[in-house]
Amino acid sequence: MTQTSDNVTWLTQEAYDQLKAELEDLSGPKRAEIVAKIEEARQEGDLKENAGYHAAREDQGKLEARIVQLTHLLQHAKVGEAPADNGVVAPGMVVTIAFDGDPDDTLTFLLGSREYVSDKLDTYSPQSPLGSAVNGKKAGDEASYEMPNGGKATVKILQTRPYEG
């Protein structure tokens, strides 16, 4: 559950702890594992044609980029509480909408940072077209936004509730 405001990302304590644990795992055991794979591949000889070496180096680059990303995110994070269950759409809320008011065409998603993604729900950023359209609205309200293809979509907010993990 997060809300991004300029360079500050608001996180619940649970989200902060989860991201910090990921950073510690990547910085410790995962980093050592990749260094060992690179060293193992080096022992095989000619590095120009060594696919294992190049794959391990690529994995190392991805790992280091994620470490930098998480470090920056956590350094600029503010830890707070989950949003109030007051029916108002806000980051950290699970929102159910109906497209064009059709109760058979619904979507339920978490409004929050893409950094804190749920296995159970799609996550939409508060800065996305849909996220910004519904942010601050209440159940029963309608919101319109521009789709990537340039068309307009209207949604009706059916339900909101705080995300509980």
Q: pLDDT digits over 24-74, tens only?
A: 999 999 999 999 999 988 888 777 778 888 899 999 999 999 999 999 888
Burial level of 66, CB count in 10 A (0-12/13-18/19+)? middle
Query: Does residue 85 lie within any of the structural domains?
Result: no
* Residue 4 pLDDT exceeds 60: no
The answer to whether residue 105 sits within a structural domain is yes
Residue 89 vs residues 47, 94, 110, 138, 161: alpha-carbon distances, Å = 54, 8, 10, 6, 8
Q: Which of 51, 80, 109 is the last residue of a domain?
A: 80
CATH number, position 131 = 3.10.50.30
Residue 61: its H or E element: helix 51-75
154 three-state secondary structure: strand
Please tell me the total count of domains within the chain: 2
- CA 62 – CA 163 distance, rounded (Å): 30
Instruction: Give this prediction's pTM.
Output: 0.61
| pLDDT band per the 50, 70, 90 thresholds, residue 3 | very low
Read off the pLDDT of residues 59-116 as tens digits, 9 standing for 90 and up. 999 999 999 999 988 888 777 666 778 889 988 889 999 998 677 889 999 888 766 6
